[in-house]
Amino acid sequence: MSDRLRVTLLAGGVGGAKLAEGFAALKTVSLTVIGNVADDDVFHGLWVSPDIDTMLYTLGGRINREQGWGVADEGRRALTVLQELGADTWMFLGDRDLGLHIYRTERLQKGDRPSLIVRDIAERFGIAAQILLPTDDRVQTRVRTGDGWLAFQEYFVRERCTPRVLELRYQGIGSAKPSPEAIAAIAAADLVVIAPSNPLVSIAPILGIDGITEAICATRAPVLAVSPLIAGQAIRGPASAMMDTLGLQPDVKGVAGIYAGIAGSLMIDHQDARHADAIRTLGLAPVCSDILMPDRAGKVRLASAILDLLPSQAEPGNP
């Protein structure tokens, strides 16, 4: 048995992977990530799982550091051929990345459980953390814009998040069963952290799976969320614009409203300190810190700051 602190992190792609990297660097932590599958889709006959793969590439040390997603030292020769053949190539899939999608798709076709496929990839990539799926069933985010419903990647990549988001739907979520591993990881956690991921398209499709929110509410471990917004702005991506067009306050108060009843505390940036009382009124304990993670040091600093909030463990042997 390990005496390390069991941290279970709910996370999407880039923002989630940043904090995951911070926790993974701490020797005192045993990290389990519950990732997001609702960005998944089929491209060129292959099952692509962008958020899970960002986590795999980040924790496996293969990530393209400049972009925060995709594989380092990537090529586009396969995509060029697809383009020559007239295929739609707005979704960038590099040569090395395609190798992973071929592997996943082949195993899915053999009937292997998605969770086990990810477990095996993580092991082969030399990742010490556990990367879990919230469900082995299909859940896919759909986005309603002025032009109708889009698949998530059509909105996110093809349309570059420019259309106003009028409605979100997580197709399949009503009948999705939680993975037993995810439920167990929440129950066994010493600390549950909701990463600074997009609350509406990365975290909501995890929390909305039957049994996941219930497991979080049932745990005696502290549950802390980290805001993805600083001073009303997302660091990157459409979180604040989406919250705005969906009628939520596009700032830390809106984030607090989403996580009220699920998290006990919300970590916000010092810049948002004036909203602390409003967050308290919504039922969350506000914690101010420096929540920007511009580099590896910033990631480790934030993960450490979160651990510092825990009541210190009684020294072994002390009465």
Number of residues located near ligand GDP, criterion CB under 6 A: 24
Nearer to ligand GDP, 78 or 203 (CB): 203
Point out which span in 82-90, 106-114, 248-256, 286-294 binds ligand GDP (CB under 6 A).
Answer: 286-294
What is the distance between the alpha carbons of residues 207 and 223, in angstroms, rounded to a whole number?
A: 13
Point out which span in 27-35, 166-174, 291-299, 310-318 binds ligand GDP (CB under 6 A).
Answer: 291-299
What is the distance between the alpha carbons of residues 222 and 224, in angstroms, rounded to a whole number?
A: 6
Closest approach of Cβ 242 to ligand GDP, in Å?
9
Residue 202 in contact with ligand GDP, rule: CB under 6 A? yes
Residue 236 in contact with ligand GDP, rule: CB under 6 A? yes
Exactly one of 234, 256, 263, 266 binds ligand GDP (CB under 6 A); which one?
A: 234
* DSSP string computed for 169-223: EEETGGGPPBPHHHHHHHHH-SEEEE-SS-IIIIIHHHHTSTTHHHHHHH--S-E
CA of residue 160 relative to chain centroid, distance: 19
Exactly one of 22, 163, 228, 250 binds ligand GDP (CB under 6 A); which one?
A: 228
Nearer to ligand GDP, 14 or 29 (CB): 14
Point out which span in 84-92, 104-112, 116-124, 234-242 binds ligand GDP (CB under 6 A).
Answer: 234-242
Residue 254 in contact with ligand GDP, rule: CB under 6 A? no
Residue 196 in contact with ligand GDP, rule: CB under 6 A? yes
Residue 241 in contact with ligand GDP, rule: CB under 6 A? no
Q: Where are the alpha helices (DSSP H) in the chain?
A: 14-24, 50-59, 77-84, 95-109, 114-124, 152-153, 180-188, 204-207, 212-218, 239-245, 252-259, 276-281, 296-307
CA of residue 309 relative to chain centroid, distance: 22
How many Cβ atoms from other residues are within 10 Å of residue 236's Cβ? 10
Closest approach of Cβ 51 to Ca ion, in Å?
4
Nearer to ligand GDP, 13 or 222 (CB): 13
Nearer to Ca ion, 12 or 254 (CB): 12
Among 262, 193, 235, smallest CA distance to 22 is for: 193
CA-to-CA dists, residue 78 to 73, 89, 122, 295, angstroms: 15, 10, 24, 32
Residue 198 in contact with ligand GDP, rule: CB under 6 A? yes
What is the distance between the alpha carbons of residues 212 and 98, in angstroms, rounded to a whole number?
A: 31
Closest approach of Cβ 130 to ligand GDP, in Å?
18
Among 157, 233, 227, smallest CA distance to 199 is for: 227
Largest CA distance in the chain: 73
For residue 166 the two structure tokens come to 């009028």
Closest approach of Cβ 106 to ligand GDP, in Å?
25
Residue 13 in contact with ligand GDP, rule: CB under 6 A? yes
Nearer to ligand GDP, 65 or 220 (CB): 65
CB under 5 to 8 A by kind: which of Ca ion, ligand GDP, none does 291 bind?
ligand GDP
Closest approach of Cβ 226 to ligand GDP, in Å?
6
* Sites of contact with ligand GDP (CB under 6 A): 11-16, 18, 51, 54, 196-198, 202, 226-228, 234-237, 239, 291-293
